[in-house]
Every structure is written in C-alpha cells, then in structure tokens.
C-alpha cells in the first residue's frame, strides 16, 4: 500500500511522512518478535503433536515458508532503507545512520514487495486450512493453535 503513495510526489506527502516512520518501527519490532518466535518454535520442536503422515511433509514445508516469509519481510525492508541511503531508525532510535546508497542492499530490498504479496497469499491459505480443520475435520488443530 505504501508503495502506491511513493508514486505521488516521490513520497513527499503527508501519507509518506506520517505512516512510513510507524511502518518502519512496527516492522522492526516484528523482526524481533519473529526471531523470538523462531527460537521458541525450535525449542518446542519435540513437543509438537503427531501429524498425519500423508500431509506431514506439506505441513513442514508450509510452516517453513511462513517463517521464512515473516523473517524476510522485515529483513528486505531494512535492506531497502539502508540500501537507498535512508538509514534505519525504528522508534526514533538511530541504528544505522544515513549514508551513500548500497546497490546490492537496495537490490535485495527490491524483493520486499513480491515477498509481501506471497506472504499475504500464504497467510490467507493458512487461515483457510485452519478453518478447514476446525469446521470440516473437527480435529482440534485450531484450538491447539490458539
């Protein structure tokens, strides 16, 4: 959504000036939370319930892709900021100062938008599968997730 507003006056308008700092701060916080969630999930690996062997591989691949997408979103966002020379200052705390453009980071940051769309599709699919388990299979997966 914010990419649309970048097209207006090169991002120099109230939407960019108001929402982008919050977008960066929330994305940075989400990066921290995703890292903590991955650590927690790795520690809980042995306590996961037994899965249907027919779908176990698909479930593992799906969860891996969701975690990868959740990690890559803020990482590529940070690459966009640093790569384009804007620096990185979540919640007003300057972590990386403004500097010259770094082309390889800016290029990596270019993956931000496609990853966002792919992650959105995966999240919608995850919700759909959870609802399928709850309403059709009635196997308690949704309650375990909550």
Q: Which domain holds residue 110?
A: 2-145
The three-state (H, E, C) secondary structure of the chain, written as one string: CHHHHHCCHHHCCHHHHHHHHHHHHHHHHHHHHHHHHHHHHHHCHHHCCCCCCCCHHHHHHHHHHHHHHHHHHHHHHHHHHHHCCCCECHHHCCCECCCCCCHHHHHHHCCHHHHHHHHHHHHHHHHHHHHHHHHHHCCCHHHHHC
Is residue 3 scored above 70 in pLDDT?
A: no
Given this model, what pLDDT does residue 21 score? 83
* Number of domains into which the chain is organized: 1
Determine how many CB atoms are found less than 10 A away from the CB of residue 46: 6
Mean pLDDT over 40-54 rounds to 83
Cα angle vertex 48, ends 120, 55, to 5°? 60
Q: Say how many C-beta atoms besides its own lie within 10 A of residue 77's C-beta.
A: 21
Instruction: State the pLDDT at residue 6.
Output: 57
Q: What is the pTM assigned to this prediction? A: 0.83
pLDDT greater than 80 at residue 15: no
Residue 5 has a pLDDT of 55
pLDDT-derived band at 75 (thresholds 50, 70, 90) equals: very high
Q: What is the pLDDT of residues 76-122, one digit of tens each?
A: 999 999 999 999 999 999 999 999 999 999 999 999 999 999 999 99
In a 10 Å sphere around its CB, with 0-12 CB exposed, 13-18 middle and 19+ buried, how is residue 73 labelled? buried
For residue range 117-143, what is the model confidence (pLDDT) as tens digits?
999 999 999 999 999 989 999 888 888
Confidence (pLDDT) at 52: 80
């Amino acid at each position: 959504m914010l990419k649309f507003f970048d097209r207006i006056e090169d991002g120099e308008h109230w939407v960019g000036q108001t929402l982008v700092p919050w977008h960066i701060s929330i994305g940075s916080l989400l990066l921290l939370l995703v890292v903590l969630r991955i650590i927690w999930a790795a520690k809980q690996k042995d306590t996961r319930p037994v899965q249907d062997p027919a779908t176990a591989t698909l479930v593992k691949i799906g969860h891996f892709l969701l975690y990868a997408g959740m990690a890559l979103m803020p990482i590529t966002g940070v690459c966009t900021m640093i790569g384009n020379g804007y620096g990185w200052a979540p919640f007003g705390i300057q972590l990386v100062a403004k500097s010259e453009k770094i082309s390889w980071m800016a290029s990596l940051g270019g993956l931000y938008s496609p990853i966002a769309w792919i992650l959105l599709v995966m999240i919608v699919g995850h919700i759909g599968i959870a609802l399928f388990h709850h309403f059709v299979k009635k196997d308690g997966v949704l309650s375990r997730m909550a």
